[in-house]
Structure 1
């Protein structure tokens, strides 16, 4: 694999459609792969450079050992700076010693630090239609970093280097939530699955599935790609926000009125609520959820800080930084709904916007060719510049 993996790459040989219908949210699944296929996503040299060059506060960077968090003061020190007060600095010897003794190094949100991982997150956000966070786990010992536990999000685990032992203990409460009325009970008995995740393998783990992970006495580096899928609770919360436009729902309830007053109000609220629960309410919610998803941080300097907004040469690449953007055709128009905005263009812009929609880099030249002969080069560049102004497109 030479490029950034897509969802199809992660779940092969299972088809993406089959993954959605038979695996996602239902069961864990291991997908075997060739050793080294993920190596370029995050080489050890890039991790070393990040640890050296970034100021990484706890808990974004932390160590875990035998199910407990290692006290941060045992491997860092606070140093004075001229303008920013004290900042943490990693201590080489204590940190390395704790890793040799079996601690696991955890680094959160690495999609913001390493460009290939950021590209992976954008690709998977487009494919899965949910926000993605990628955390890194590195270990060397024979202990486990965390006790048997469950997570409140779905996850893909990508084994970049080495291997780790995974034990899956099943589900005790289907589809648990971060804010829930009841916590899942730890399952009794032996694991339902016990296996080694090898270099190049992928594991899919739905939320609520109890598991534990152990190092096996050799180096291991893996990424956990977490995402929260939309639920009925999310839909109801979204609908509650939509109801704020209706005076009936903003009006105070008749707490001190008669029982008949309260019954009448309940009937009015129920009727208005049911009227909004149309057959397409799920589609409306998911479309709006995608359209509101924030843009990824990518400035595109120096170009975006200049009047031209774009590189002069058409061989340069641009990409949409809103992986879940939605196109809405109109009467002679095409609208791009993204990052909470709705940008309306003439219908002739549709081929360019459609080409950009997968959020993959494309050369300006390619986009000019896609638009021809309806739009000329100058118009295409003006369209791209408008997208840059609104923060939804960036030079590569």
Structure 2
């Protein structure tokens, strides 16, 4: 029986990273979107405020709690908020905008005459009480992740947004404290007593929907597992072919656990979670979901080759966690096989707890764990996995060969021959002999001398390129960014040409203008690297790998790559430097306006940049009504209305406050 599969086990096979060089970022190339109008860098007059989207306000976050320990209990912070009250709620995790707070206020009455209010006072009081109870119930059910799930967190930098999300997951533990004291050092348990903490992220009913709406293959997308205590092994009860809902639920009734191997392929909320976290961790972040029936266990005791965060979504599960049994199992490079229960029967667990909905358990690589449901409750948890094959050793495997090659090209000492007779003093057969130590000592001294020169002269030169190789792997592994409604309307995803069935032609024509302001979509959506090539003058040496064309299934598409002209490097460097700020196209350091718009058009058409505001259509005002009908069919009106409502809610509240004061 094979060993347990980690969250990344099926991803650990070597996959070719041959780039698909499908385009080039040129210094000059004719494109249809080139426009020479308005080259002065100022906004056009017709780019009015109605086309501008504001930063989205955060929704209701959870109250902040201080303190940390190995096992953290966080009392429920849910409070009922009456409509008649006005309160400020601070976010659970500090953001770069601490001055921005959420105003929770009751409904405002229109300014009607006093007698009318008195006549309807009894009716209004009853209605207000009902509304108070309904809104209080909604607030009680509100998840602390709600603001992030609904894109209400006003953080523009994707790395900082990922850090903010990670802070919500491990709240009340501060992120910096976790990284300094806990990360890859010890397990951490957070008990919140807030069963709705992860509401909206994933549920058991989502599994049923996924099974009915998609084609899942046993062993590739889903597993049915059961732990046999008699053999201390897990058993897979996977039929062949497609997973049918009735068959899966029948196995669940018989005691099998249901494991989804790639839930992010089917669940947009999990996709959103992982794509956001990968911006913070800078490496692949994966996930599995585990649904276990009452009184059952799906997996044998084992340890994994990934750092795991267990988010208890529903029900309860009894977990036992053990520290690594020896030094070789500390931060292991491979997952263990199924461990016999006798191996740990006399070992005291470092954590022995019943995890309940809203709790979190963190385990570094190498920590042995097993979980079993109680007899009276099922369990659904999400395991978020990260930092597989992302170690110093993995970097040195790339760096040191490059450094040696460079040293042999540039330093004659590395090209000198080995001393005569070294075969007579070194090797396995000579390692135990009592040979003269002088020659061995001289040989060791020479090795140390050359290694010192290697570390001093060659390693620093090859460091950047070696890190880029690691980054190239990440760019291929990564999930594509999940766009917010606002981002869809300001990228090629929804912005621009589309078929208008009413006019029977293409409409919604937009153009990038010199004064259009743009920025990179994400901090890590694009990576510019220099390939190893003996011909230093070859322009094909410099390429840009990107993630926006990646699939939600692991390595379902080849690595996406753009060729880069050296003339465009300063413009790319500027986009990375100013991120997350916007810059007008005519401010980019390229020779001509045509070069600038051509350069940005290439990035825009790959989904790598977004515009600050939604571009105006050039179809003509007489087509506005017909376009609206077409937009409704595509859902654009709803998206625009959502973004508009979110960006104007605060302005409306301020206006109402002014009216009341008047």
TM-score normalized by structure 1?
0.72
Once the two structures are TM-superposed, the CA of residue 99 in structure 1 deviates from its matched residue by: 0.8
Segment of structure 1 superposing worse, 122-131 or 132-141: 122-131
How many residue pairs end up in the alignment? 364
176 and 13 in structure 1: CA distance in 2 versus 1, 3 angstrom threshold? closer
C-alpha distance in 1, partners of 2:520/2:339?
Answer: 42
C-alpha distance in 2, partners of 1:271/1:386?
Answer: 49
Unaligned regions of 5+ residues in structure 1, if any?
78-87, 329-334, 358-366
1:290 is the counterpart of 2:471? yes
241 and 36 in structure 1: CA distance in 2 versus 1, 3 angstrom threshold? farther
Aligned partner of 2:56 in structure 1 is none
Once the two structures are TM-superposed, the CA of residue 16 in structure 1 deviates from its matched residue by: 1.2
Once the two structures are TM-superposed, the CA of residue 286 in structure 1 deviates from its matched residue by: 4.9
Once the two structures are TM-superposed, the CA of residue 380 in structure 1 deviates from its matched residue by: 8.6
C-alpha distance in 1, partners of 2:525/2:363?
Answer: 23
Match of 2:197 among 37, 40, 45: 37
Deviations 1:244-293 (A, max 9, x none): 744849x9998997427998998877655443435969974556533552
Deviations 1:150-206 (A, max 9, x none): 111111111222222211122213424235999999443232221122212221110
Bigger-Rg structure (1/2): 2
Aligned partner of 2:384 in structure 1 is 225
141 and 294 in structure 1: CA distance in 2 versus 1, 3 angstrom threshold? same
C-alpha distance in 2, partners of 1:280/1:114?
Answer: 43
C-alpha distance in 2, partners of 1:275/1:311?
Answer: 60
Once the two structures are TM-superposed, the CA of residue 40 in structure 1 deviates from its matched residue by: 1.7
Aligned runs of 1:1-396 on 2, under 5 Å? 1-2=145-146, 3-4=148-149, 6-33=165-192, 34-60=194-220, 61-66=222-227, 67-73=233-239, 88-174=241-327, 175-178=330-333, 186-187=343-344, 188-216=346-374, 217-228=376-387, 230-243=390-403, 245-246=405-406, 248=408, 258-259=421-422, 273-278=451-456, 284=464, 286=467, 289-290=470-471, 292-295=473-476, 296=478, 298=480, 303=492, 312=510, 320=521, 323=524, 339=546, 345=568, 353=576, 370-371=582-583, 375=587, 384-388=600-604, 392=608
CA RMSD of aligned residues (A): 4.9
Aligned partner of 1:363 in structure 2 is none
Once the two structures are TM-superposed, the CA of residue 50 in structure 1 deviates from its matched residue by: 1.9
Segment of structure 1 superposing worse, 271-280 or 341-350: 341-350
C-alpha distance in 2, partners of 1:355/1:122?
Answer: 22
Task: Indicate if the aligned counterparts of 1:138 and 1:219 stay in contact, CA closer than 8 A.
Answer: yes
Task: Indicate if the aligned counterparts of 1:27 and 1:206 stay in contact, CA closer than 8 A.
Answer: yes
321 and 374 in structure 1: CA distance in 2 versus 1, 3 angstrom threshold? closer
C-alpha distance in 1, partners of 2:357/2:404?
Answer: 51
Task: Indicate if the aligned counterparts of 2:211 and 2:244 stay in contact, CA closer than 8 A.
Answer: no
Segment of structure 1 superposing worse, 337-346 or 125-134: 337-346
**3-state SS of the aligned residue for 2:294?**
coil
Task: Indicate if the aligned counterparts of 2:253 and 2:293 stay in contact, CA closer than 8 A.
Answer: yes
C-alpha distance in 1, partners of 2:293/2:520?
Answer: 38
C-alpha distance in 2, partners of 1:281/1:179?
Answer: 31
Segment of structure 1 superposing worse, 204-213 or 272-281: 272-281
Once the two structures are TM-superposed, the CA of residue 23 in structure 1 deviates from its matched residue by: 0.4
C-alpha distance in 2, partners of 1:350/1:252?
Answer: 37
Deviations 1:97-152 (A, max 9, x none): 22123211011122233222122112211222221111111112212111211111
Unaligned regions of 5+ residues in structure 2, if any?
1-144, 150-163, 228-232, 427-439, 499-507, 530-541, 547-560, 612-638, 640-662
**3-state SS of the aligned residue for 1:63?**
strand
TM-score normalized by structure 2?
0.45
311 and 190 in structure 1: CA distance in 2 versus 1, 3 angstrom threshold? farther
39 and 244 in structure 1: CA distance in 2 versus 1, 3 angstrom threshold? farther
C-alpha distance in 2, partners of 1:180/1:275?
Answer: 37
C-alpha distance in 2, partners of 1:182/1:136?
Answer: 20
274 and 135 in structure 1: CA distance in 2 versus 1, 3 angstrom threshold? farther
Once the two structures are TM-superposed, the CA of residue 72 in structure 1 deviates from its matched residue by: 1.3
C-alpha distance in 2, partners of 1:313/1:51?
Answer: 42
Once the two structures are TM-superposed, the CA of residue 53 in structure 1 deviates from its matched residue by: 3.0
C-alpha distance in 1, partners of 2:338/2:450?
Answer: 34
59 and 254 in structure 1: CA distance in 2 versus 1, 3 angstrom threshold? farther
C-alpha distance in 1, partners of 2:235/2:312?
Answer: 23
**3-state SS of the aligned residue for 2:475?**
coil
Task: Indicate if the aligned counterparts of 2:184 and 2:365 stay in contact, CA closer than 8 A.
Answer: yes
